[in-house]
Structure 1
């Protein structure tokens, strides 16, 4: 028997402290509701649950972001509802003005006054519609599109008829009975650029050679154009009103001999289309004329833009580009005006002198970006773009129904404007529906991840109460046994008596 060290008491005390520590953790988990309160409780579980908590927080805020996006879209769409109503009213007025029972100086002028007021109100709505200080319809939220193809062309029949369109080729210095190939570029009626090539045999004289080349060129230009040979010259001219089939855009025509020798000649340039090394295309409009003279439209990736002087309405199927010029010639100022308006349409373009430079490739997204996910990945971001809805952008800036002819023409123009606004509203509606589904998906994701995080982190109260009860009983038992163990050394006194 020993009195210096009471091993039984020490053992009882150790179990008592262990049970007390376990009971303390039981109480902590039950009172906090979490079974992981510090890294020591479960290091791996803590790391996983903290990542899940961040994801849950992100998903919750993403739902709020999507709801804000819906509010923005609804604000824009609501403003366009009124624009649609005004366009329909303008169509009604144009239909009324197109009737032959009205006089220009009195009746139609009064109808035009209302049209003017409606146009002003559309512009005011485009300028003022905003959400949290963000302008919605003024073009600042329009996507800035990359350009793949640019073409020059004409819209008016007189622009290509008779003497207004004529290209002259000169032949000379060729070897008799030698086969030659002539290569050149031209634009077709749809504004597409093509490479063309003809083959012919040089005659005894330059005139004979010109005749041979003229016959070959007739196969390219077809009906509506005359190809005539006069001396050493071949002239291509438009002869029928309404023809707009082929136009040269190449500045140089090269005539290459298949056996030996080369001759060159130049023809007037009515426009250039150049693919640059830095993924740009340039259109030089220095020598072309506006309105009803030679060339008056640009076609950019399938969309046609008609170049007009102020106050004129574009033809059906065209968007308007207005220039302030009286000479009929494009200048650096008018090129800048065209570039500025194309930017409003969402085109990546810049002007330098008389040259317009277009950026090729994929579109540069404009508008704003909604963060609709818990990461910065592109699939968790939604670009919201809203096209410019000013009267110039929707094609009614020059709308005039003060004459019967103008009113009849305005009907198609207003229809195009209605379709333009319908397209914008349709895009907004599709965006809103997408965001509704986005919110539903985010909600389900948040719920499932929250459930997983809860499994890792939250206290199982029933299990913890069982442990608490056990540890509480063990503490009481250890206390009782410790008291008994402390009495054991008392037996030594009996031996000492």
Structure 2
């Protein structure tokens, strides 16, 4: 028997310390709910779960971002709903003014007042609509582009001097293909007609269609119908095709400058796939043009400043700016201060030099694209162009990584009247009202397209939110399996370790009593 070292007590003490540590860990896990409270609990599990936690947080934040994006889109789309309503009202007013039962000076003037008011409200909405301080409809979150500056022309002296102002109707884009100088001889069988062109939307197209000749000579009248059918198939229903003796004329059914029809190449291959040499002649492309006014400066004349002369017969207004030709400085002084003027070279006469000076002044003050007419003393008051506000759209972060596929770009173009092409519409005259109808309808189509894009983005974001929710749920479940404690299993372990702790305490007490037997040997 030894008394210097109580091995049984040492063993019991060690077991007691181990059991106390185990109970402490059990209590920590049970009280926190986590299986891993420190790296020592499970180093690999901790690293994996922390990575998962970062991903979960990213997914939850992305969901919040997508919801914010929906709110932004709804704000813009809600504002455009009212813009749509006002444009529809403007169409109604323009159609009403185009009717011949109204008087220019009274009825149409009142209709124009409402149009002016609606234009001002559209511009106010475009400038003021914002989300969290971000302007949405002024073009700042749109893509860089070019807008039109419409032309609003007013001339008070039109009734007494009708020749001063004339309206030129819109023209359609047209391409003509001349017949070959010498008509090629065609082999029997189906030929292939290939046409390379730019369509109405400005996209390059390359179409090949079958062409079955009725006669051996391409320019034979009998081939006109087959040739028309083949070319019509290539271009579609938006164009009218006419074939005459091997020559082709393709005309857009929609008038205006927005149609981009342009043929680059047309060729014919025989049934064996070999090119038919010189099948067609030269190609001529004519762009479509929007309606515009022509101002006859020579017929307008120059204001002499005399008291007996009515200045209104010499003043014309474009987009709110007033202009006039004057004989001299004294005549200029007789005009109101808001009238921009050009002093003519010879009193009472407007020549080509005076006209050129007026064109420069008009374009500077209004931003339109006025041009000299072929007569040299008339001005074609055509729409101008203006660069839209530069922007690359607004990017939404809808994923947990910085990858490109986790970003959604929202782009909203400038919705001001200038960008919509209706800033200068004038329904105070019957011709002006007729021209305004098409312009307003084009603006309605533009707003409809923008609203459609916004609706598509909103639907996409809603699906994105659903996907993020599922991903977050599954990732949270995976993280929970690694990090969270199984309370039932841990309680069983705690019970076991608690009993072992009490047992080791009891055995330590017993082991401490063992050396007491040595005292009996010493008696």
Q: TM-score range by the shorter chain?
A: 0.5 to 0.7
Q: What residue number does 2:141 align with? A: 141
Verify: 1:38 aligned to 2:25, yes or no.
Answer: no
What are the Cα deviations for residues 34-87 of structure 1, in whole angstroms up to 9, with x where unaligned? 110100000010001101111111111111111111111111111111100100
What are the Cα deviations for residues 197-226 of structure 1, in whole angstroms up to 9, with x where unaligned? xxxxxxxxxxxxxxxxxxxxx9998679xx
Q: What residue number does 1:85 align with? A: 85
Verify: 1:323 aligned to 2:349, yes or no.
Answer: no
8 Å CA contact retained: 1:29, 1:35: yes
- Displacement, 1:327? 4.7
Q: What residue number does 1:168 align with? A: none
Q: 1:127 to 1:188 in 2, by over 3 A?
A: closer
Q: What residue number does 1:495 align with? A: 521
Distance in 2, Cα, partners of 1:142 & 1:246: 26
Verify: 1:391 aligned to 2:436, yes or no.
Answer: no
- Displacement, 1:328? 6.4
Q: 1:60 to 1:99 in 2, by over 3 A?
A: same
Q: 1:223 to 1:26 in 2, by over 3 A?
A: closer
What are the Cα deviations for residues 93-147 of structure 1, in whole angstroms up to 9, with x where unaligned? 111111111112221121111111111111111111111110100011112379x
Verify: 1:126 aligned to 2:171, yes or no.
Answer: no
Distance in 2, Cα, partners of 1:420 & 1:158: 20
Q: 1:81 to 1:292 in 2, by over 3 A?
A: closer
Q: Give the unaligned 5+ runs of structure 1.
A: 147-153, 161-185, 195-217, 225-241, 250-269, 272-289, 294-308, 313-320, 330-336, 347-364
With normalisation by structure 2, the TM-score equals: 0.58
Q: 1:87 to 1:22 in 2, by over 3 A?
A: same
8 Å CA contact retained: 1:187, 1:245: no
8 Å CA contact retained: 2:137, 2:415: yes
SS at match of 1:383: strand
8 Å CA contact retained: 1:396, 1:417: yes
Aligned residue runs from structure 1 range 412-423, under 5 A: 412-423=438-449
Which one is further off, 482-491 or 402-411?
402-411
Q: What residue number does 1:76 align with? A: 76
> Which of the residues 378, 388, 392 maps onto 1:366?
392
What are the Cα deviations for residues 341-390 of structure 1, in whole angstroms up to 9, with x where unaligned? 3x35x7xxxxxxxxxxxxxxxxxx82111111111111111101111111
What are the Cα deviations for residues 281-336 of structure 1, in whole angstroms up to 9, with x where unaligned? xxxxxxxxx9789xxxxxxxxxxxxxxx9659xxxxxxxx953556569xxxxxxx
8 Å CA contact retained: 1:159, 1:292: no
Distance in 2, Cα, partners of 1:60 & 1:112: 53
- Displacement, 1:431? 1.2
8 Å CA contact retained: 2:9, 2:511: yes
Q: Give the unaligned 5+ runs of structure 2.
A: 147-167, 175-195, 206-243, 251-255, 265-284, 295-316, 321-365, 375-382
Q: What residue number does 1:296 align with? A: none
Q: What residue number does 1:476 align with? A: 502
- Displacement, 1:494? 2.1
SS at match of 2:95: helix
Verify: 1:21 aligned to 2:47, yes or no.
Answer: no
Distance in 1, Cα, partners of 2:494 & 2:520: 42
- Displacement, 1:409? 2.2
> Which of the residues 438, 453, 456 maps onto 2:482?
456
Aligned residue runs from structure 1 range 226-305, under 5 A: none
Q: What residue number does 1:100 align with? A: 100
Q: What residue number does 1:447 align with? A: 473
8 Å CA contact retained: 1:221, 1:246: no
- Provide the alpha-carbon RMSD of the alignment: 4.3
Distance in 2, Cα, partners of 1:490 & 1:245: 113
Verify: 1:465 aligned to 2:491, yes or no.
Answer: yes
Q: 1:57 to 1:492 in 2, by over 3 A?
A: same
- Displacement, 1:27? 0.6
Q: 1:381 to 1:193 in 2, by over 3 A?
A: closer
SS at match of 1:323: coil
Distance in 2, Cα, partners of 1:380 & 1:326: 49
8 Å CA contact retained: 1:143, 1:385: yes
SS at match of 1:477: helix
Distance in 2, Cα, partners of 1:429 & 1:24: 58
- Displacement, 1:417? 1.1
Distance in 1, Cα, partners of 2:133 & 2:480: 40
8 Å CA contact retained: 2:29, 2:37: yes
8 Å CA contact retained: 1:94, 1:410: yes
Q: 1:72 to 1:192 in 2, by over 3 A?
A: closer
Q: 1:158 to 1:468 in 2, by over 3 A?
A: closer
What are the Cα deviations for residues 157-188 of structure 1, in whole angstroms up to 9, with x where unaligned? 6999xxxxxxxxxxxxxxxxxxxxxxxxx999
Q: 1:397 to 1:62 in 2, by over 3 A?
A: same
Q: What residue number does 2:428 align with? A: 402
Q: What residue number does 1:48 align with? A: 48
Q: What residue number does 1:200 align with? A: none
